[in-house]
Amino acid sequence: MNAFGAAQPLPAVVLAFVCGYVATTGDFRLDREEFVDAVERLAPAEAATHHPHPNLLSWRDLLTNAGAESSFLAIFVADADEPPVDQDDAQFRQLLAA
């Protein structure tokens, strides 16, 4: 989870591509296969050893600890000033604010 304004563009682009995110606030549920795809697409970033990869590490951890039928929720907030789109978005924003 990245704070509002955090600069982690590559993981965001990879996840947005896999989810189909374009430009509006929304929730995107991914099945395990889709999330594995996101992890595999981000993995080449590890070649840049001068830069940490916390998203990749946490995504791998999520996969390791998730069951075969698990799903994953990606939440994109296009504008922090607009209201949450649903309860998941609202809860996510509360975590960011903490």
State the DSSP code for 84: P
CA–CA dist 11, 77 (Å, integer): 15
pLDDT given for residue 1 in this prediction: 53
Looking at the 3D structure of the chain, how many domains does it have?
1
pTM over 0.85: no
pLDDT given for residue 96 in this prediction: 86
Q: Give the CATH number for residue 62.
A: 3.30.70.2010
Whether 72 is covered by a domain: the verdict is yes
Regions in the chain scoring below 70 on pLDDT: 1-8
Are 25 and 89 in contact by the 8 Å Cβ rule? The answer is: yes
> Would you call 26 exposed, middle or buried from its count of C-beta atoms within 10 A (0-12, 13-18, 19+)?
middle
Q: Give me the amino acid identity at 46.
A: E
Whether 69 is covered by a domain: the verdict is yes
Whether 2 is covered by a domain: the verdict is no
Whether 1 is covered by a domain: the verdict is no
Whether 3 is covered by a domain: the verdict is no
pLDDT given for residue 4 in this prediction: 53
| Containing structural domain, residue 75 | 9-97
